[in-house]
Structures are given as C-alpha cells and as structure tokens.
Amino acid sequence: MERNNKLFAVSALFNTPNEIISAASKTAEKGYTKFDVHTPYPVHGMDTAMKLKPSNLGFVTLGFGLSGTGLALMLAYWTMNVDYPMNIGGKPLFAFPAYVPVIFEVTVLLATLATVIGMLTFFFKFPSNSHPVHDTNFMKAVSMDKFGVIIESEDPLFNEADAVSFLESLGGNSIEKIYYPVKEAYPVFDKKFIGLQISIALVVAGLTYVTLNKAVYIQPFSWMTDQFRSDVQASSTFFSDGRSMRLPVDGTVARGFMPYEYSELTTQPEKPLTNPFAPSKAFLELGKKKYETFCSPCHGNYGDGDSRLREQFPNPPSLHSEKVRTWKDGNIYHVIVNGQNVMPAYAVQLNDEERWAITSYIRVLQRAKNSTEEDVKLVRKEIISNVAQ
C-alpha cells in the first residue's frame, strides 16, 4: 500500500498481556479517547482497562429475535387460517403448539443473522481492507504474538511528539508512525466497480435463466414427463387382449350396487318383492322428498297425473287408478327400477331404500285421496289427542 505523508496514528508494541493491560489503562487514564489496542486474541480484563462501555449488540439481537418470533407467527397464522384454511389431522386451524418449532427456528435465524451482519457492517464498518493499519509491521506483529497500542492523530489530545514519548514511557517498543494510504477512498460510483457489478449481474442472470429454463429439461432431468405408463382407453401391446385397461374380475360388484334380478322381465314379478322397511315417519319423509324430486314432475304432487307436462307429452297416468291401487308394492318398485312405456328407469338415481320409500309414500297418497269414513275418524281422533297433549 502506498502511503502519503498524512499521519494516521502512532503505534507501540508490547510483549506480554500484563504489560498491555497496564498500557491500555494508562492510555485511557491519560485522557486519550481515539486510541485502540490490538491483540492477536481477546485479552481478559481489557474492557475495564480501556474503559469501554458494555457492548450493546444484545439489543440488536433482541430486537431482531422478537421480530422473527412475530413474523413467523403471523406467517403461520395467515397462511393456515386466512389465506388457505385447511383441516389437518383434526387439529384446530390455529394449531399454536404445532407452530412453535417454526417460530423458534425463525427467531433464532433472524437473531443470529442480524447480530452478525449488524456487528460486521454497523459496528465494525467492514469490509475495511483500506484501513491505514493494514500492511504495516505493527499489524503483522499484533496478528502474530505481540500486543499493540495506537493513538490516532484525530484524538483531541494528540501531539506527535507527546504521543511518542508517552508510548515510550509505557515501555512500548518498535514505535511506528502509521500514515494514511495514498488512495483513501474507494468511491461507489467508480466506473470499473459499476462495470464489475453489471457484468456479475448479467452472468448470474444468464446462468439462472439457462439453468432453470434449459438445463433442467435436458436428459436425464425429464421431470418425469417420460414415463412408462398406459393411457386410459388406449390400446396396449402388453396385454393379450390389446387393451390398456383391465376388466374387473368376474362377479365383481361395485360398492353400493344392489343386484335386481327381474330387470329382464316384462311382466310384473309379484311374489318375491315385498317392502322390507317399516313405514316410520322419517322413512315416509324420505319418500316424500324423493317422490317430489323424481316423480312429481310428471305424476303431479299428489299423484293425479296433473303436472305441468300435461298435454305436452303422453299424459302421465294417475296413480289413483284402480289398477295401481290394487298393485302390490313390488309392482310399483319394479316400475321405478325398470320404467314403463315412456317412463324411464330410475334405478340409477334412486337406491333401494329410496325406491321403497317412494312406494310407501305413493301408498300414503292413495289412502289420503281415497279415504274412507273410518280413516277420517281416525285422523280426527289423533288430532284431538295431539291438541289435548
């Protein structure tokens, strides 16, 4: 490093830790403030000798640590409760105990990074490779095994001759005058420096682009797009029947499928089909609901065959005809499953229970439409007893 003749500091070297401690405390007592002690390793008791204030680095750590805690908590809360709430393992959405590990890690990460970066950049003003003490014999010595004191020229009490004699009086040897380097400042807007930055940016951007968009798509990074697999409904050379899809094993029954053995019959199977369900209130309500959904559009809400489709279509028959009323339950069930004339089959829309529920509900309608005197009496009696209760 070339130097000019502007004095930065006067330095002296000491051989033992005891000497440096006493030198440091005497320098501080003398009233120098812009002085420094250089030691190859931290020497115990130097803080008090140099009268240094305790380091307040801890506040940086605390501040960033707490902000890490807050940020992680907010991130976990926002993603898991606000932006995309999802039930995971039956846990409450705000599963705080499960957020704790991540909160802890982020706290530690932010606190440590802030401590180190804060210390290096704000406390030490690093990088500072252009500092005047670099490349001096003094620096070489304190880097190895000597202990040094420097008194800077900017100190208000500084006087070159006084400083030298003071250091001599402390017992310091190899007293050295350190001058500023010729080139003190390295401006940010230096042409070369900006050029370097731009070229680094271009290279990084180019490499990133090539890696992410080109390199990762060459073999073997096929992203699993080339897979040995058979497509649905496609032909296959692997199986002898030439189909890629497999047939189910004989006798396979789909889930929830109830076989109906009279599908092929055109006549009414009467004997074996009986309603297995007891006509409870809930059952009849199910029947009503399904009847109104699937049957009423044609047969009308009360089975009179008077729906809005009348005259636009072959008239749907009334369900109160003598024929239907004398039918067994099984007949109605059969018609629901298979359809009749223009009526389509409802086997797909309605399951076994629902079909029987509709059957029972039709019976209710029939009885209501064709009620006898006794039925009316019965109903009245029931109403009275209900009111009495």
Partner 1 sequence: MSHSDKMWVKKDLPVRVQNLGFLLLGVGLAAGITGLFIDAHRFMMNYLIAFMLLVSIGAGSLFMVALEYIAGADWSVPVRRINEFYAASVLFIIILAIPVLMNMESVFHWAQPQAVSEDKILKWKAPYLDTTFFIVRILVAGGIWSLFYSLLSRNSKTQDLTKDQNLTRKNIILSAIFVPIFAITVSVVSIDWLMSVEPHWFSTIYGVYFFSGSVLASLAIVTYTTVWLKEHGYLHPRMTNDHLFSLGALLFAFINFWAYIAFSQYLLIWYANLPEENFWFIQRWEGGWMIMSILLIVIHFLVPYSVLLSQPAKMDPKRLKFASLWILFAHVFDLYWLVMPSYHSEHSTGFFTYILEFGFPIAAIGLLILLFYFKTKKNNLIPIGDPKLDKSLNFRL
Partner 2 sequence: MNIDYSKEDIIVSGRLSIAQIEDLIAKPLETKVDKKFLIALSVSVTALMIGAISLGFSLLYGTGLWGNNQPVGWAFPIVNFVFWVGIGHAGTLISAILYLLRQKWRNGIARFAEAMTIFAVMTAGIFPIIHTGRPWLAGYLFPYPNQHSLWVNFTSPLIWDVFAVSTYFTVSFVFWYVGLIPDFATMRDRTKEGIRKTIYKVFSLGWRHSHRNWQHYEKAYMLLAGFATPLVLSVHTIVSFDFAVSIMPGWHTTIFPPYFVAGAIFSGFAMVVTVLIFVRKIFDLEHLITIDHLEKMNKIILATGMMVGYAYAMEFFIAWYSGNQTESFVFVNRAFGPYAWAYWIMVSCNVIFPQFFWIRKLRRSIPVMFIIVIFVNVGMWFERFVITITSLHRDFLPSSWGYYRPTLYDFGILLGSFGLFFTLVILFTKALPVVSIAEIKAVADDAQPSHHGDH
Asked if 207 is part of the footprint of partner 2 (rule: CB under 8 A), the reply reads: no
Interface mask toward partner 2 for 106-145; x: CB under 8 A: x-xx-xxx-xx--xx--xx-xxxxxx-xx----xx-xxxx
Interface positions, 219-238, toward partner 2 (CB under 8 A): 220-221, 223-224
- Cis? peptide before 54, omega within 30° of 0: no
In the list partner 1, partner 2, none, the entry touching 144 (Cβ below 5 to 8 angstroms by class) is: partner 2
Q: Nearest 5°: phi and psi at 151?
A: -115, 120
How far apart are alpha carbons 132 and 9 in whole angstroms? 9
* Residue with smaller CB distance to partner 2, 219 or 341: 219
Residues 6+ apart with CB under 8 A from 283: 277, 357, 360
* Residue with smaller CB distance to partner 2, 43 or 157: 43
In the list partner 2, partner 1, none, the entry touching 280 (Cβ below 5 to 8 angstroms by class) is: none
* Residue with smaller CB distance to partner 1, 114 or 337: 114
Residues 6+ apart with CB under 8 A from 350: 290, 294, 336, 358
Asked if 42 is part of the footprint of partner 1 (rule: CB under 8 A), the reply reads: no
How far apart are alpha carbons 282 and 293 in whole angstroms? 17
Q: How far is the CB of 200 from partner 1 (least distance, A)?
A: 41
In the list partner 2, partner 1, none, the entry touching 24 (Cβ below 5 to 8 angstroms by class) is: partner 2
| Bridge partner list, 151 | 10, 35
Which tokens go with 213? 């968009």
Which tokens go with 279? 């006509």
Q: How far is the CB of 301 from partner 2 (least distance, A)?
A: 46
Interface mask toward partner 1 for 62-101; x: CB under 8 A: ---------------------------xxx-----xx-x-
Residues 6+ apart with CB under 8 A from 303: 295, 318, 319, 320, 362, 365, 366, 369
Interface mask toward partner 2 for 64-83; x: CB under 8 A: -----------xx--xx--x
**Site size toward partner 1, by CB under 8 A:** 9
Interface positions, 238-297, toward partner 2 (CB under 8 A): none
* Residue with smaller CB distance to partner 2, 126 or 313: 126
Q: What distances in angstroms separate CA 142 from CA 25, 160, 182, one per listed residue?
A: 18, 22, 23
Q: How far is the CB of 117 from partner 1 (least distance, A)?
A: 21
Residues 6+ apart with CB under 8 A from 297: 307, 308, 309
How far apart are alpha carbons 290 and 183 in whole angstroms? 93
**Site size toward partner 2, by CB under 8 A:** 71
Contact residues: partner 1, CB under 8 A = 44-45, 58, 89-91, 97-98, 100
